[in-house]
Amino acid sequence: MTATTDQQHTGNAELLSSTLAGAKAENRAALIAYLPAGFPTVDGGIAAVKAVLESGADIVEVGLPHSDPVLDGPVIQTADDIALRGGLKIADVLRTVREAHEATGAPILVMTYWNPIDRYGVERFTAELAAAGGAGCILPDLPVQESATWREHASKHGLATVFVVAPSSEDARLATITAAGSGFVYAASLMGVTGTRASVGERAKDLVTRTRATTDLPVCVGLGVSDADQAREVAGFADGVIVGSAFVKRMLDAPDEAAGLDAIRGLAGELAEGVRGGR
> pLDDT of the chain along its 279 residues, tens only?
334 333 445 679 999 999 999 999 999 999 999 999 999 999 999 999 999 999 999 999 999 987 665 555 788 888 888 787 889 999 999 999 999 999 999 999 999 999 999 999 999 999 999 999 999 999 999 999 999 999 999 999 999 999 999 999 999 999 999 999 999 999 997 644 444 444 556 788 999 999 999 999 999 999 778 899 999 999 999 999 999 999 999 999 999 999 999 999 999 999 999 999 876
Assigned domain for 12 exists: no
Beta bridge pairs of residue 111 = 63, 138
Task: Note the pTM of the prediction, 2 decimals.
Answer: 0.91
CB 65 within 8 A of CB 80: yes
Torsion region of 60: left, alpha or beta (phi above 0 gives left; psi -120 to 50 gives alpha):
beta
pLDDT of residue 269: 97
CA distance 16 to 162: 11
How many folded domains does the chain comprise?
Answer: 1
- Give the contacts of 124 (CB within 8 A, at least 6 positions apart): none
Q: Give every CB contact of residue 222 below 8 A, 6+ residues apart in sequence.
A: 32, 34, 186, 187, 188, 189, 194, 241, 242, 243, 244
Cα(141)–Cα(29) distance, rounded to whole angstroms?
Answer: 26
- Position 2 scores a pLDDT of 39
Confirm whether 8 is domain-assigned.
Answer: no
Tell me the C-alpha distance between 17 and 119, whole Å: 29
What are 190-209's pLDDT values in tens digits? 644 444 444 556 788 999 99
Contact 7, 15 (CB under 8 A): yes
Does residue 19 lie in a domain region? no
CB atoms within 10 A of CB 71: 16
Q: What is the pLDDT of residue 5?
A: 38
Secondary structure class of 141 (helix, strand, coil): coil
14 within some domain: no
Is 16 part of a structural domain of the chain? no
* Full domain range(s) for residue 202: 27-277
Annotated catalytic sites, by residue?
61, 72
In 3D space, the residue among 113, 166, 136, 5 whose CA is nearest the CA of residue 59 turns out to be 136
Answer yes or no: is 170 within a domain.
yes
d(C-alpha 159, C-alpha 238), whole Å: 23
Contact call for residues 101 and 3 (beta carbons, < 8 A):
yes
143 occurs within a structural domain: yes
- Residue 246 counted as domain residue: yes
- Per-residue pLDDT tens over the stretch 236-260: 999 999 999 999 999 999 999 999 9
Residues in the chain: 279
Question: In CATH, what number is assigned to the domain containing residue 70?
Answer: 3.20.20.70
